Amino acid sequence: MIEYVWAEDEKRQIGVDGHLPWHLPADLKHFKEKTMDHPILMGRKTFASLPKLLPGRKHIVLTHNEELKSKWKDNNQVEILTSIDEMNEYLSNHQSEKICAIGGVSIFKALLDQVDILEKTEIEGIFKADTVMPEIDYSQFDLVHQEHHDADSKNKYPYTFLTYIRKH
């Protein structure tokens, strides 16, 4: 089962210079809750943007960078895949477990037809960004959870957590 976990602004923007365009502690907590104890699948740039290896999660990284593969070969918390075929093989061998795709755009695009759950944070506002979430056909999904939060002392922007499940 594949679950996308991401946050976007009102223009579907998700990143700037390899990082999130906003600081929203509630979304970081939500991300941790949704991904904890599940493998997280990402591209090389998303992997590079992490402050460190995230505890409690296996990091599956899609990259053509062979140096990265040799750097992490002895770390069982990181698995480097070097092609879309290798990624698809990994996914087919792990169909019974939830795998959280966390970016970037190439990962989201590659799995658009396979994703089962969308775990989206919509942030009210438009930010300086250089990366946009691929178009998703929401008519293929049912909205099963929606939770709005106003801005507060820790979270500068209003946001909404949304969960969609693919229709079958």
Residues 35-52: pLDDT tens digits? 999 999 999 999 999 999
pTM of the predicted model as reported, rounded to 2 decimal places:
0.95
147: which 2 tokens?
């939770």
pLDDT at 146: 98
Residues 122-154: pLDDT tens digits? 999 999 999 999 999 999 999 999 999 999 999
Best CA proximity match to 106, nearest among 62, 58, 151, 49: 62
Q: Which fold has domain 2-166?
A: Dihydrofolate Reductase, subunit A (3.40.430)
pLDDT at 43: 96
Question: Strands of 99-103's sheet, edge to edge?
Answer: 78-81, 59-62, 40-43, 99-103, 2-8, 117-123, 159-166, 141-149
Q: Could you state, in order of their start, the residue ranges of all structural domains in the chain?
A: 2-166
